[in-house]
Structure 1
Amino acid sequence: MAARALAGRAMAGRALAGRAMAGRARWLAARWLGAPAAG
């Protein structure tokens, strides 16, 4: 029971970290692509 809760928490944490990493990558891409346009 505790193991299942721990596994669920780890999976949720991994999904959250993956979403944050994807968001940061998208932000970096927008920054790099937007820099030349902005001057």
Structure 2
Amino acid sequence: MTGQWPFPTRLSVDSEAASKILYNQSKSSVFEDPVD
């Protein structure tokens, strides 16, 4: 996996944290604005 990503480990950790934040935001937005 490291060979596929020419980015520093720190960057991949940041992007993983960012995707978790986006996931939590989309999850909470579902609760705030439920779509039938």
TM-score by structure 1 length? 0.66
| Alignment RMSD | 1.2
Q: Which runs of 5+ in 2 are unaligned?
A: 1-6
State percent identity of aligned pairs: 7
User: Are 1:32 and 2:33 matched, yes or no?
Assistant: yes
After TM superposition, where is structure 1 displaced by more than 6 Å over at least 4 residues in a row? none
TM-score by structure 2 length? 0.71
CA distance in 1, matches of 2:30, 2:18: 18
User: How many residues in Structure 1 have an aligned counterpart in Structure 2?
Assistant: 28
Q: Which runs of 5+ in 1 are unaligned?
A: 1-5, 34-39
Which structure shows the higher helix fraction? 1
1:8 is displaced (CA, Å) by: 0.4
